[in-house]
Structure 1
Amino acid sequence: MSEPFEEHRRLLFAVAYRILGSAADAEDAVQDSWLKWSAADRSRVADPRAYLVRIVTNVAMDRLRSARARRESYVGPWLPEPVLTDAGSGAGSEEDAVRAESVSTGLLMLLESLSPLERAVFVLREAFAFSHAEIAAAVGRSEETVRQAASRAREHVRSNRPRFPVTASRHRAVTERFLAAAGGGDINTMLDLLAPDVTLWTDGGGKVRQALRPVRGAQPVAAWFAGIMRRPYEGVAPAEMTAEITGLSGAPGVVMRGGGRVLATLTLDLDDQGRIIAIHNVANPDKLGAVTAGLVRDLRLSAYESGLGVVDDGA
Structure 2
Amino acid sequence: MKYIYIGVSAFLVSIAITVLFLFYGQRVIPDGNDKALVYFIILIPLGICCAYLLFRVVRSYAHFKGTYRNQTLEVSGPAVMFLLVVGIGYYFVRNPPLPPTFTLTITFKDSVSLKPLQGNANISYAGSYYPSQKIDEGQVKFSNKVSTGHEITIEPDIPGYELNGNKVFKVPGNNESLDIKLTKKENEQASKNAAIKLFRSYVNDYDTQMTNFADFLKYKVQYLFDESDTAYFHDFVTLLNDYNTAFNKLYGERNNLVSMLSTYMPEEKDRVKTFLDDVGDKSENIFQKFNDHADKITYPDEMKKMTKAEKNKFVETMHSIADDAHKWIAQFERRSDEIVQKLASL
TM range (shorter): under 0.3
Which protein is richer in helix relative to its size?
2
Which protein is richer in strand relative to its size?
2
Q: 1 or 2 for the larger relative contact order (CA 8 Å, sep ≥6)?
A: 1
TM-score (norm 2): 0.20
Q: Which is greater in Rg?
A: 2
